[in-house]
Structure 1
């Protein structure tokens, strides 16, 4: 995973002109056209464009690409129109934000790799769709902008990182529900979308894991524990923050005096500048 991630990073860096500018604009336009054509054909256009490997092998090769433009929410009334409009605009916004942040090459490779993985799954399982790949774009967006606040349904303000957890819960629910109901195709597609996300964000996620471990080690460090105890004592007794363990001078006695803590002493001992280099280490 790490090697693939780094290779893709180098490829995108060395080929900045690779890709399709404004890719999501073309995806969205295609989805909108198919959605409205479905309204007048009772969903026939979506069926004609969907990925079905037996029909592709019979010569309908356009389905290898046309499934990209099949809306993930079919036409079924006014509510479905509103839902389609909201989700499509949201995907368009996310896709453009990712392209601005990454550049055209990286975003095209991200989306294109998801397409290739889905095509492979489609030939193995018989059919596929872009529903989970589109949803996984939100994981990428939330990783880059975790604290950005958006209005859920235009009303409820939420940070993107919390919406990403909701998205992850939906992925997990769909996966386990598909497993229990033995719908193998819908069990595989969420995993494919997650794989595509991990390929591009493996280094970032490992960095988060490392930083979390370092913070945990810092909190468990005896020096940190002793420092917190010292701070607590200061809050309880008040009056000063630093006190020299040799001469007893405090920052209240001499506000201009600098204090240091000795890393060689067994504990969290503070010394003034006169004694930081002239004291017996506590063992």
Structure 2
């Protein structure tokens, strides 16, 4: 097999593994494939790797490092993504007595997209924190809520595949985190002072130039790995809310509540009744 044929075969295999969100941004696709391949080859991955927020050896150490930061100690209300590498973050939030919001994976289908885990209530109900900290456990025992029902957040934890010290980030490619954070800003649930945080393996921290930052991308304030806690130096400002022109058509169709919530947000900004066709 020639070098060009081998390269083409490897690229095709990577594209297939990358899943249904590949093709939206070629630079990010290549970077995600590189990170996923590295986790797989190094033996640092835990469970499936591709087309997801992959789990990795050292996630519990990174969660402990996060819990030692002042921003964590001050936070009383925390949002955390539902993915496996952040189980330890969710568990620490519960043991530290924080109210914890977690999105239903990919915002669910026809059900309220958020769950609230109140550690005091879980204790009264005899629910083990270790079970509630898993995504399936959280969905089964948490209080179901919509975006508008969430309290203002003291910290937002996102799942990432690659990050930069300039605050750049990319997840699995579905756009859920940026959409979620944009909606939070539009609804007044986070402000410019709310820290946006992730826990990642140190191999996922890449050079600033490797990760293009788009107009709708939310920037990280802190990156915590199994080795260190990094306060980022973001280039530019956070987006003011959802950049609706950059929301993918499939997102508007597949995320069951998004059209109605968009209409409410745009109507609120315009000071009028919502237009269901917006």
TM-score bin, normalised by smaller chain: under 0.3
Q: Tell which structure's C-alpha radius of gyration is larger.
A: 1
TM, length-normalised to structure 2: 0.25
Question: Relative contact order (C-alpha < 8 Å, sep 6+): which is higher?
Answer: 2
